Amino acid sequence: MTSIIRVSELRKIYDMDDDVQVTALAGVNLEIEEGSFVTTMGPSGSGKSTLMHIVGGLDRPTSGSVEVGQYNVTTLDEQQLAIFRRQMIGFMFQSFNLIATMTALENVALPLRLSGIPKDERMERAYQLLCKVGLKDRVFHKPTQLSGGQQQRIAVARALANNPPVILADEPTGNLDTVSGANIMEILEDLNKNGRTILIVTHDPRMMKYASKVIKMLDGHIQ
């Protein structure tokens, strides 16, 4: 199998007030194979979210390197990072990060607009994605008119808008009830079966059953 994510000697140190430094990542080495379903677990402060954010180009490391596909993420400038994220990464967050003034359809279509896709094409693709996640009858609803589980389904559809090979999900079921959380995990499992690489950060041990690989982190190290 080909590795799609390669992390080498990754370190992240945050400078806090009063000259205090906090080490979030302490020399992490990791390879993730293309098409795998990886669950990263650990308590708060273990470094798991920091690792995901650096892999996705949302944060910069203090040292070390991250390669995703053909990109060396740690050497890219801001414009190149934006292109990398559009082409390679679909993001899902615990807080959904939907735009409250936009409909479900508009939220899913937004990444396509940023990619320069014509309006008719992006609206059709957004509609098909919402149908795929079971929201055919909710396309014109705004986030405040929907349940938490429905909002997370919109977030899944939005993450898929640019057809990325890698999905990064940070506590994707954290704000959901048990049934809604299980539905989201089943959608991610189905995406993985269709070839996408899934990397989930969670503290919920129930997520382990979906994983082909489990990574456990503590104090900035992979155990």
pLDDT digits (tens, 9 = 90+) for 126-163: 999 999 898 999 999 999 999 999 998 899 999 989 88
CATH 3.40.50.1820 fits 3-222, yes or no: no
- 59 against 114, higher pLDDT: 59
H or E, element range at 121: helix 119-132
- Other beta carbons within 10 angstroms of residue 172's beta carbon come to 28
pLDDT digits (tens, 9 = 90+) for 173-190: 888 888 888 888 888 999
Domain ranges of the chain: 3-222
The two structure tokens encoding residue 142? 């705004």
Residues 170, 94 contacting (CB under 8 angstroms): yes
